[in-house]
Amino acid sequence: MKSDSETTTGARARIIEAACSHIARNGLEGAKIRDIARDAEVSTALVHYHFATKADLLDAALVHAYDRAGVLRLSGTPGSRAGLTERLADLITYSLPADTGLREEWLLWMELWLHAVRDPSLRSTVESLYGKLREEFTAVVADGVRTGEFACPDPDATVTRILALLDGFGLQAMLLGTTEALTASQLAVGELIGRELGLTAPLPFRPPAGQQQ
């Protein structure tokens, strides 16, 4: 028999999972607590018990979506690739809206950008998630500099530019909503970053399994 704490933890996880879908599909204002509660198979009172505001739900949903997508970014699923240029290519691919799950994460990011501008309580989430993403890219770039695979005088500045490129080109791919736009964004980021890192060959991109637009 499950303990009360296990039951509560499971309910909270279901609420967050349902919130991811509803906020991504309808936006923060359009997401209804009663619909989230229904899909999570809990009462609306329990949703309010765990999350005082919709902003709190957005915060938790985005952290959950980021961690879910992070498995792809860090593992290079399916099948890990050990080379640094391959790892960098995979990080770029899985930081763009490359499949249905990543597109949902991007929709949540877009909601966060919109609301964090006006709601200071969300800015710590922005800083935390960008910090995690920065750590992922910095680890690969720094390893490449140490091994001589990358030529980069200022890895921190390079990673800052990588994140800005991913935001800009990823948003463009989301707005256009086509496979061609996604591929163009991926190649553009790869070309610019490869040039900055002194690479003589294009980054070895591969499409994620089950890519959907």
**Domains detected in the chain:** 1-52 (1.10.10.60), 55-196 (1.10.357.10)
- pTM, two decimals, is 0.83
Q: What is the mean pLDDT of residues 118-122?
A: 86
Check: CB of residue 55 under 8 Å from CB of residue 119.
yes
Query: pLDDT band for position 31 (50/70/90)?
Result: very high
Amino acid 6: pLDDT: 40
Is residue 178 within 8 A of residue 156, CB to CB? The reply is no
Sorting pLDDT into bands at 50, 70 and 90, what band is 75? low
pLDDT band (50, 70, 90) for residue 69: confident
Residue 94 token pair: 């899985």
